[in-house]
Chains A and B, each alone.
Chain A
Amino acid sequence: MNLLTHPTPDPEHWRRIEAVLDLALEAEPHEVAELLDRECPGAPQLRREIEALLEADRQAGGLMAVAAAVMLNPFADDFAPPPARIGRYAVTGTLGRGGMSVVYEGLDETLGRRVALKSLPPSFAQDPIRLERFVCEARLLGAIADPHLTAFHGITRDGTRRYLVLERVQGQTLAERLLTGALGAPEASGIAAQIAQALATMHRFGIVHRDLKPANVMITPLGLVKLLDLGLAEVSAVSSADTTAWARAGTPGYMSPEQIAGAGQDARSDVFAWGVVVWECLTGTAPFAGATAAERIAATLERGLDAALLPADTPAALRATVLAALSRDPAQRPADGDALAGAATANASSPPTLPAPLPAHDPTAIRFVGRERERRELSQLLEHTALVTLTGPGGVGKTRLAHAVATERFSTVWFAELADAHDDPAIEAAIARAAGLRNMTRHALLEALAAAPHACLVLDHCEHIAPELAHLLTLVRAFAPSLRIVLTSREPLGEAGEQVLRVPPLDCPDPEAVTAHDGHAAAAVDLFLLAAQKALPQAVFSSDDMRTIAVICRHADGMPLAIELAAARLRDESLQSIASSWAHGQGEVRTDDAVRENIRWSLERLGAREQRFFRALHVFHGGWDFGSSARTVCPDEDPFEALDCLTALIERSLVTIERVDRNEPRYRFLEPVRQFAAECCDAAGETAALRARHRDTYLAAVETLAPTLVHGAAQARGLAWLEAEQANVLAALEYDEGDMDSAQKALRLAGAMWWFWYVRGHFTRGRAALAAALARAHAGAPTPARALGLFAAGGLAVFQRDYRDGRRLSTEALAIFETLGDERGVARAASHLALCDGGEGRFDDAARLYERAVAIFRRLGDVRRLSATLNNLGVLDRQRNDFAAAYEHHAEAIELFRKADDRDGMVVTLLNLALAATRTHRDTAALTHLREALALVMELRARRAGAAALEVAAEVLCARSGHAAAAECLGAAEALRVSMRLPADDWWRRMTDTLAHTLRTQLGPDVFACHDAAGAERGFSQAITHALHSLSSDVARTAT
């Protein structure tokens, strides 16, 4: 139906339609049918036309977005000639032009590497939000570095115009490949699998491509598939028509229905696009073809697919996956790249190229521990690439990996060590030796290399002879095109067609989270255990031992050789002694000199800017995130400078990527590198200024974060960030310029940290830090910072039941708050004093202090603190055994906490409520409150509350006859308290003692002890999870 041509535009008819259409557009969707009944009685044609227009209204959004994007730069094809240079790259040609950007080919004259330089739209420079988002995605891409994605080398600029520096991929796009028709099923399967893998990597890190199509898929001559254009720069400025600024227009024909409708895009939109691409590969035509964009959009929304069009020899698994991926309903599709990769490659028509994992007892298994993924990737890469370079810091295991995979895959392997080769003839000689050949001319050697049918040449330690090697490699590859070459190096060589595989250090677990049962969660620990078995075949390790092992792995920076050597020492030493010798820096594997030489060599090849950045990074402890590094090292420059420097350091294996948390990579130095950087920085005289800036950066960050920690959804996130940054914060606290100003700053930082220490249960650490800061800032007038510091220290002391210190500190805090006229502070300090009184049995004094605080909080309208104080009043009631009053106070408190969305407050109050409920026969309520509390404890990782929660759980479980589970909860709680040095108050301890007694009677002392110990073995998360599980099922009902 088309009113514009039917047969000619008819204004009269349109007026009639418009009258009703206006009404229909303003009505709610469910009212429309009725409205049409009313307005078009007996006029079915009119009604049909209006319904068609309403349908068009629903669908038009997608089309208009595309049209608007087109309008935004209608002169796209007029252009200025390319500049001669961009940054340090010489521009050697133009590769293509897009709606808003242009791509040039460039040559990095330092490295001799060809790159692609993609311009960013100038509008980016003006929009800080878009800029930030872009920088965020750029560093993600630098961190991910998958061979199926184009490598990202950094950002450069030419005047004000910025360019992304990307890998220059040789080959043709899938679009070009499809010009000659459909691909055969085997080729299509292979491409489908590789695209799926690229998507899997992206989705694992939370990035959605948003514009997958054949033009964005590159195929190298050997069949390696790479995704281009990862949505980095094409976040288009579709502001005018219908969509919001962030929506990417996408390409009609590949856009999913929900993308067209303007609804959110997620991994499943990429899955849909994958389906379209693979369909096109298999059949030769796009499933939603059309001459215009509008037609393609209409086809996507309306046209059904005929599965019979897929070729008969399409593997069944692939066929099913493609059809599922093309479901209009996102929920019916495979969820993301991983799901695609798994489903599509099952029963692939080509023989499987992945080696099977080795059984655990196989003596060669140790080579691959923690390296399964790299082993698979390298193996697959060698299928489609002639030249692979393994990069990573020295000692990370590149040599071993290269050797292992090569011998697995190839019948002939030549292994040449190039560390001592310094010129062309030496390289040649090394290769000849490896091949078992002597006294040969170069020509004869090349012929010999070409003659072997299924061979691999492994060249080890190539970094320092890259230029000489380049020439020889060209010859080799010309003579022996089917020879596979694997290089190991600390940085990429920059050869054409070189595929880089980064080998990171092994994953190390968090020592506080590891237990005897989940050692296999982390590769480093796995390796240690395997190596330990060789040294001490009968060894068995307890949870404590596992924690020590985790610490050793951390000290070893996840470096395999170091870990194995440490494990080997078990023949003669205990775990403890190994760990402590590591702590004192006696665990180095290589001599310091070798490591330093390597670092120095890599550094010399960098510019002054990158070297300065490198030196400055030593100031971080336990790693850093990008924002902190940019703000500390180059606060006055724009983030691109910092990103560029960081990318250069990562590429040279000087900086390691630790992990990616919620789209934010964390970076770190290996310890020897950090020490080297520290020395360089000292030599340059920059250390003092940097440490001051480091301290200022963290002070600002923590002070900004502190208010968000107490309530709202951001609580968990903020707490997680602080947990990761603890080492940095402690370093910042220690920094002392010897003057009052820096003492005040340290005090402020410690004060801002106190809530985190409190919730996460780091009482001892927090008290020590606060005491040190208070001592430093001792002289001088009483300041708000001092009051807060005293208050914080007092609070932590009180919670550890150190009432003497708690009282002293809180009294001093109260006095300063009164001097400063800070009513809120007075009320807070009073509350802490009340806790002391309550803890020591002086209930009336406590009650009076609480009432004073409550009055102030009510007057100030401070809902959150009011609720906290009411909660404490409830605790007081409980201590007087008045459970009914306790329930009332806690109930009032929980309502207020909920309103303020203060999750930690909610946890504590819910637990108190649950307890009061059990004592007042409100059993169902008790269960509900307890379950909610446990869930929140998990979310916040609140260990402090966790111990109490487990004890209340034990109480409730006992009441429901779940005695075994109750005993386990008690055991876990006790272990937690010991690790936090967090004893309970008298009343509470009496409660748990009575409970333990009851359980011992019910279960018998031996069974009780057994469950108690089992509970103690569990780490925090497992204990909470187990408690929740025990409470949810009615397993608790049956006697054990």
Chain B
Amino acid sequence: MGSEDITRLLHEIRAGDPGARDALLPVVYAELRAIAHRRLSPGARDAVLDTTALVHEAYVRLFDRAPLDWADRRHFFAVAAIAMRQIIVDHARKRNAARRGGGQAHVNLDDTQVAVEQQAGEIVSLHEAILRLSQLDARLARIVELRFFGGFSEEEVAEIMEMSARTVRRDWRKARALLYQDLASPEQA
């Protein structure tokens, strides 16, 4: 799909067409995965990657010739956050499964293997908690998604969701509190 098609889809999203987002998601998802894959391949130098950089790089790669106006860009980033979340959770799930396969003892020099393995578990737990949150209040879940998986700041979230920064801040606190209660409670469903 060329960038004109993508731009058209973004216009449609803007116009309120619900199907357009579903059509766009796989494209963005594929793009992000490709970038992540390339960055992490055996020949690559940098084995460290953060989500914001990924999303921005995807944007540049897709729209380098014809940059989006700010309204469309907003929608693009919103979709990218969703895609990012899918990628990360998939990745974490794979790791979780692999870990249960066999224990390895490493000589550690710092907070390494333990944290890394726990990390995958944390990501999955967080994802599931956000799922439950979205059943309670979809808007709050969206904000969490943008902040965590898109790596956007409160101001950027406000811009993407067309809300005031103050409301975003309050919503973020509510979402955080709900997630905290969920993650901190001993019984896991």
Contacts and interface: CB of A to CB of B under 8 A. Distances in A.
B113 A96 contact: yes
A64 interface: yes
Contact of B48 (A9, A57, A121, A228): A121
A509 to B, nearest CB: 41
B102 interface: no
Given A25-B170, A240-B148, A294-B184, A229 B177 contact: no
A67 interface: yes
Interface in A9-47: 9-11, 14, 18, 21-22, 25-26
A297 interface: yes
B173 A76 contact: no
Given A59-B180, A71-B148, A173 B108 contact: yes
Interface in A45-78: 52-54, 56-57, 59-60, 63-64, 67-68, 70-78
A216 B47 contact: no
Interface string B128-144: 01001101110000000
A159 B126 CA distance: 37
Q: Which of B41, B112, B147, B185 has the most CB of A within 10 A?
A: B112
Interface of A: 1-5, 8-11, 14, 18, 21-22, 25-26, 52-54, 56-57, 59-60, 63-64, 67-68, 70-81, 95-100, 102-103, 116, 118, 121-123, 159, 161, 172-173, 175-176, 211, 213, 215-216, 228-229, 237, 240-242, 251, 291-295, 297-298
B122 A57 contact: no
Contact of B180 (A26, A100, A216, A294): A294
A251 B43 CA distance: 32
Given A63-B180, A80-B43, A95-B109, A11 B137 contact: yes
A2 B43 contact: no
B181 A99 contact: no
A293 B189 CA distance: 17
B187 to A, nearest CB: 8
A78 B184 CA distance: 29
B43 to A, nearest CB: 7
B5 interface: no
Contacts, number: 199
Question: Which bucket holds chain B's interface residue count?
Answer: 35 or more
A53 B125 contact: no
B158 interface: no
B147 A1 contact: no
Top 3 A-B pairs ranked by shortest CB distance? A96-B112, A294-B183, A9-B136
Q: Which of A68, A77, A175 has the most CB of B within 10 A?
A: A77
A25 B169 CA distance: 10
Given A11-B137, A60-B176, A71-B151, A215 B50 contact: no
Contacts of B120: 77
Contacts of A292: 121-122, 125, 183-184
A91 B51 CA distance: 30
B76 interface: no
A805 B50 CA distance: 68
Given A71-B51, A76-B119, A116 B109 contact: yes
B108 A122 contact: no
Contact of A25 (B126, B153, B174, B179): B174
Nearest to B150: A240
Contact of B51 (A3, A8, A56, A74): A74
Given A77-B116, A294-B183, A4 B178 contact: yes
Contacts of B185: 1-2, 5
B95 interface: yes
Given A2-B182, A53-B178, A74-B123, A98 B133 contact: no
A100 B147 CA distance: 20
A215 B108 contact: yes
B181 A2 contact: yes
Give the secondary structure class of B's interface.
helix
Given A96-B110, A99-B111, A228-B109, 13 more contacts: A4-B132, A4-B182, A67-B148, A68-B148, A71-B151, A74-B51, A74-B123, A75-B91, A96-B108, A159-B45, A161-B45, A240-B148, A242-B176
A1030 to B, nearest CB: 55
Q: Which of A78, A80, A95, A291 has the most CB of B within 10 A?
A: A78
A99 B116 contact: yes
B97 interface: no
6 contacts: A4-B132, A22-B170, A53-B181, A54-B177, A64-B180, A242-B176
B34 interface: no
A229 B111 CA distance: 9
Given A3-B136, A99-B115, A80 B177 contact: no
Nearest to A168: B109
A215 B183 contact: no
Contacts of A103: 109-110, 112
Q: Which of A52, A100, A215, A237 has the most CB of B within 10 A?
A: A215
B112 A297 contact: no
A75 B116 CA distance: 9
Contacts of A5: 132, 182, 185, 189
Contacts of B41: 80
B71 interface: no
Contacts of A78: 40, 47
A294 B148 CA distance: 17
A232 B186 CA distance: 35
B110 A98 contact: yes
Given A75-B40, A96-B107, A215 B148 contact: no
Nearest to B92: A74
B20 interface: no
B98 to A, nearest CB: 9
A12 to B, nearest CB: 10
A59 B183 CA distance: 12
Contacts of A294: 180, 183-184
Contact of A4 (B47, B122, B133): B133
Contact of A1 (B148, B149, B151, B181): B181
Given A9-B135, A53-B174, A60-B179, A73 B122 contact: no
Interface in B2-53: 36, 40-52
A1 B133 CA distance: 14
Contacts of A175: 108, 114
A79 B151 contact: no
B106 interface: yes
B88 interface: yes
A1 B181 CA distance: 7
Contacts of A74: 51, 88, 91-92, 119, 123
Given A71-B51, A73-B49, A95 B181 contact: no
B122 A293 contact: yes
A244 to B, nearest CB: 13
A240 B151 CA distance: 6
A95 B107 contact: yes
B148 A25 contact: no
Q: Which of B111, B118, B135 has the most CB of A within 10 A?
A: B111
Nearest to A93: B107
A21 B174 contact: yes
A18 B109 contact: no
A680 to B, nearest CB: 39
B180 A18 contact: no
B34 to A, nearest CB: 14
Nearest to B118: A293
A468 to B, nearest CB: 31
Contacts of A4: 129, 132-133, 136, 178-179, 181-182
Contacts of A14: 136-137
Contacts of A77: 95, 116, 119-120
A240 B189 CA distance: 29
A215 B110 contact: yes
A295 B106 CA distance: 26
Contacts of B147: 240-241
Contacts of B91: 74-75
Nearest to B186: A295
Interface string B70-100: 0000000000000000001001100100000
